[in-house]
Amino acid sequence: MQNPQPTMPTPASAYGARARVWNWRRALSPTGNTGDAVFRAVLFGCALMVLLLVAAMIAAMAANSRLSLREFGFGFLTSSEWNPVTGRFGALPFIYGTIVSSLLALLVSVPVSLGVAVFLVEQAPRRLSRPITFLVELLAAIPSVVYGLWGIFVLAPVLRQYVEPPLQKWFGWLPFFQGPITGIGLLTGGIILAIMITPIISAVVRDVLAAVPVTQREAALALGATRWETTRVVLANGAPGIAGAIILGLGRAIGETMAVTMVIGNRAQISASLFEPSYTIASVIANEFTEASEAIYLSALVELGLILFLVTFIINAAARLLVWSVTRATSGAART
C-alpha cells in the first residue's frame, strides 16, 4: 500500500497549480491519486478502443467499396438486380429482406419474451422460476448454426405441413400469405430469428423487472390494484430497460447470418408474400464473399457491409428516439 501523503495535494497547491509548471499527475486525476489516475487512463483507453475500432471498420469498408460506390452511386440502394455474371449489383432486395425478417422476429418475439419475463418475476413460484431462468439463459448460448439446422430439418417441414396451409386457407386473401408453400422463406426466417432472440430479450427484461423496487408493487397492491394492474405499473417502471432489451434483440436479429441463411431461401427478390424466399444482407455476404474474385463484385459485397452498418445504426437510433419520446411522455404524464 502506498502512502497517500505525498500525492494528496492540499487545496492551496491544487488551486495554485495554474501558474506553475504543468503537473501531469495532477492533470490526469483531479483528485490527485496516482492509482486513480492510472485506473482512469486505462478505462478511458478501453472506451477509446471501441471508438477506434468502429472508425477503423468504417474506414476499411468505405475504402474497399470505393469501386462499387463510384460505379453504381446512389443507384446501388434502389436497384433490385444482383447479377455476378454481368457485374450489375443493387442492394434493395437485401435491405428489404433484412428489415422485414428482423421486424417479423420482433413481432413474434416481444410479446412472448415479455410474457416469459413477467411470469418469472411476478408469478412463478421460486422452485419453477429458477430452472426456467436457467433454461432461458441456456437457449441464449446455443450457436446459431444449430438453430439453422433445426430450422431446416424440423421447423421448415412443420411450417410447410401444419402452419402455412391453414394460414393460406384462411388469410390467403392477404398478400402476405400467397404463393407456393415450401416451408422455406421470409416467414421461416423471421420465426427462427424470433426463437433466437426470445431468450436474450426475456433474460434482460427479467433482470429489468427484478430491479423494480418491491415498494412499487406494494404501493399498487395497497391501493387495491389487481395483479394485472400491478404488473402494468411494474412494466411502466421498467419501460426504458425493456426498450433496451428489445433493441439488443433487434441488433442480434439484423446481424444474424447462419441460421437465417439456412431457411430464408436466399433469393434476391422483393415480394409481399411471407411464403416467398428472400435474402438478408448478412446472408449474401456470408454466401458469396469467399468465392467472389472480380474486383467490382468484392467491392459491391463490401458496400453491402457498409449498408448493414448504416441500417443497424439508423434502426438503433430510431428505436432510441422512440423510447425517449415515449418515456418522456409517460413520465411527464405521471408527474401531472
Partner 1 sequence: MFRTHQTTRRRGNVALATILAVGLAFLSACSGERADSTTPGASGDTVRLQGAGATFPNPLYQKWLSEYGKINPQARIDYQSIGSGGGIQQIQSQTVDFGASDTPLTNEDLEKAPGELVHIPTVLGAVVITYNLQSVAQPLRFSPDVVADIFLGKIKRWDDARIQADNPGVGLPATDISVVHRSDGSGTTAVFTDYLAKVSPEWKTKPGAGKSIDWPVGIGGKGNEGVSGQVKNTPNTIGYVELAYAVQTKLPVALIKNKSGNFVEPSLDAVTAAAAESLPTTPEDLRVSITDAAGANAYPISSYTYILVYKEQKDAAKGKALVDFLWWSIHEGERFARDLQYAPLPAEIVERASAKLNSITAGGKTLRGA
What cell numbers appear for 331 in the block?
A: 413520465
Q: How many residues bind partner 1 (CB under 8 A)?
A: 50
Q: Specify the residue for cell string 492533470.
A: 27
270 touches partner 1 (CB under 8 A):
no
Q: Report, in Å, the least distance between residue 177 CB and partner 1.
A: 18
Binding track over 183-212 against partner 1, x by CB under 8 A: xxx---------------------------
| Helix spans in the chain (H) | 11-16, 24-28, 34-64, 66-72, 75-78, 92-118, 126-140, 144-150, 156-158, 164-171, 186-211, 214-222, 227-237, 239-255, 258-264, 281-288, 295-335
Binding to partner 1 (CB under 8 A): which residues in 15-74? 15, 17-18, 22, 24, 26-30, 40-41, 44-45, 48, 52
Q: Specify the residue for cell string 386473401.
A: 173
Nearer to partner 1, 30 or 115 (CB): 30
290 touches partner 1 (CB under 8 A):
yes
Cβ neighbours around 63 below 10 Å, total: 9
Q: Report, in Å, the least distance between residue 264 CB and partner 1.
A: 9
Nearer to partner 1, 159 or 208 (CB): 159
Q: Which residues have a Cβ under 8 Å from the Cβ of 8 and sit 6 or more positions away?
A: 32, 33
The alpha-carbon radius of gyration of the chain (Å, integer) is 26
Residue 82, strand partner residues: 89
261 touches partner 1 (CB under 8 A):
yes
Residue 88, strand partner residues: 83
Residue 83, strand partner residues: 88
Q: Report, in Å, the least distance between residue 198 CB and partner 1.
A: 24
Binding to partner 1 (CB under 8 A): which residues in 67-96? 81-86
* Contact yes or no for 288/201 (Cβ under 8 A): no
Binding track over 163-182 against partner 1, x by CB under 8 A: -----------------x-x
Nearer to partner 1, 238 or 277 (CB): 277
Residues in touch with partner 1 (CB under 8 A)? 15, 17-18, 22, 24, 26-30, 40-41, 44-45, 48, 52, 81-86, 149, 152-153, 156-157, 160, 180, 182-185, 261-262, 265-268, 277, 279, 283, 286-293
